[in-house]
Amino acid sequence: MTHESHRRHTLIVGLVLMSLSVAACGSAASSVAPSSSPAVPSTPAPSSATPSLPVTPKATPSASAAAVSCDLKPQTGMLPSDRLTGMQVLGQPGADVVRFEFSPGSLTPAGPAVGSLDVATPPFTGGASGLPIELQGDNALQVVFRGMSLQNDAGQETYTGDREIRTTDPSRRLRHVVLFDESEGQIGWYLGYDGPACVTLSREGTDILVSITYGPGT
């Protein structure tokens, strides 16, 4: 083999070895699994549950019919709105119900509208006037609504219903319902009734109910 042939043979062998080396490197690189990217924590879907507002427990007159007399404990709950628009006295077997009706609230309420029920003690007087009120009935309750809007957006009175109801039906034990306070965002009512009873404050839709249950057979 001449010197020139030997040099060509050496050059060819070198190129072959280089090609094999490059191929081996490429094969090794392709056989390495790509490193896994750090896991991105998934964002939990927002819960669709809305916290419920604190309201007075729902009760019906028949719920306490097994008892004839209950010790009344103060009861408090959120009102449907800050606008009282109506009041009704309803008679049911063994019970009397005073229903307070509410309309949609103010666009900018002054604060939360809250209702409370408690025993009323004499002397019974008008909240703003201080004049005496002759409340009928052996027992007395007071229902007070606070945070109320006493006028609508046009400056008119929000509540235009009865401010006093006397029951003349001898079969009913609820004797007297009278509005005793309507000032400074507060509306207060006295309820007078005869005999032992269980009394509950409850919410039904946009109404607030005071149920006076006298027991079975009454």
Return the pLDDT at 69: 55
Return the pLDDT at 66: 32
For residue 213, is pLDDT > 90?
A: yes
Cβ contacts of 102-109, under 8 Å, gap ≥ 24 = 102/206, 102/207, 102/208, 103/158, 103/206, 105/80, 105/81, 105/149, 106/81, 106/82, 106/149, 106/153, 107/153, 109/81, 109/82, 109/147, 109/149
- Rounded CA gap, 16 and 19, in Å? 5
> What are the tens digits of pLDDT across the range 104-147?
999 888 889 999 999 999 999 998 889 999 999 999 999 999 99
Share of the chain above pLDDT 90, in %: 52
Candidates 80, 152, 79; CA nearest to 117 is 79
Q: Which stretch of 30-34, 174-178, 208-212 has the lowest confidence by average pLDDT? A: 30-34
Return the pLDDT at 166: 95
Sheet architecture: strand order including 207-213: 84-92, 95-102, 207-213, 198-204
- Rounded CA gap, 6 and 144, in Å? 116
Return the pLDDT at 43: 33
Alpha-carbon Rg for the chain in angstroms:
40
Q: Which stretch of 49-63, 87-101, 199-213 has the lowest confidence by average pLDDT? A: 49-63
Share of the chain above pLDDT 70, in %: 67
Is the alpha carbon torsion for 91, 180, 209, 74 positive or negative? negative
Q: Does domain 61-213 have CATH number 1.10.40.60?
A: no
Sheet architecture: strand order including 75-78: 75-78, 114-119, 139-146, 186-193, 174-183, 164-166
**Mean pLDDT score across all residues of the chain:** 75
- Give residue 20's pLDDT band: very low, low, confident or very high (50, 70, 90): very low
> What are the tens digits of pLDDT across the range 57-97?
433 333 333 334 588 889 999 999 999 999 999 988 899 99
For residue 17, is pLDDT > 50?
A: no
For the beta carbon of residue 153, count every other beta carbon within 10 angstroms. Answer: 10
